[in-house]
Amino acid sequence: MFCHSGFVSLFPGKIPSTKFQITKLMGTAKTYDLHQRTYSFAHSIRDFARNVPKDICNIEDLKQLVRSSGSVGANYIEANESLSDKDFIYRIKICRKEAKESAYWLRLIHLFNDAELEHRRKKLTVEASEFVKIFSTIIQNRRTKSS
């Protein structure tokens, strides 16, 4: 079950951990497990979406953004449950694709010159770009390991 105050796992047992040193959206350095980080990204996108002015274009773009941002973490969970290296790489490629898509939808949203929302969008776009790099590295490392 997910809750707004923090992360509660839907899955009992240990989830494989991939740790990275990052700067949180609030600006403090902290080591995050990639599972938690993808959840935090999707949650931050939802908080951002609640504050964006709603016009006909933004409504549709926000729907796509919410879907793609959540799909990053959902596919990461799927990747960690994969039965083969080929399936793992395929799922991580989907994570990368969804992170790229999230960055795309973030760029399309019109913020009506709201400086605070623009600042939040930039941080979220950076996070999406970092996911693309992380997932690309994971793919490359897994291919090297499999060869």
DSSP class per residue in 21-40: EEE-TTS-EEEEEHHHHHHH
Does residue 50 or residue 9 have the better pLDDT? 50
Q: Give 146's pLDDT tier (boundaries 50, 70, 90).
A: confident
Task: Give the rounded percent of residues in the chain with a pLDDT score beyond 70.
Answer: 78
The pLDDT assigned to 29 comes to: 45
Residue with tokens 């959206």: 25
Q: Is the pLDDT of residue 16 over 50?
A: no
Which of 1-5, 24-28, 81-85, 118-122 shows the lowest mean pLDDT across its residues?
A: 1-5
SS3 82: coil
The model's pLDDT over 63-119, given as tens digits with 9 standing for 90+, comes to 999 999 999 999 999 999 999 999 999 999 999 999 999 999 999 999 999 999 999
Between CA 128 and CA 100 the distance in angstroms is: 7
- Tell me, yes or no, if the pTM score tops 0.75: yes
Q: Is the pLDDT of residue 31 over 80?
A: no
- For each of the domains in the chain, give its residue range(s) and CATH number, in order of start: 54-146 (1.20.1440.60)
> What average pLDDT does the chain have?
85
User: No. of H helices and E strands in the chain?
Assistant: 4, 2
Report whether 103 contacts 71 (CB < 8 A).
Answer: no
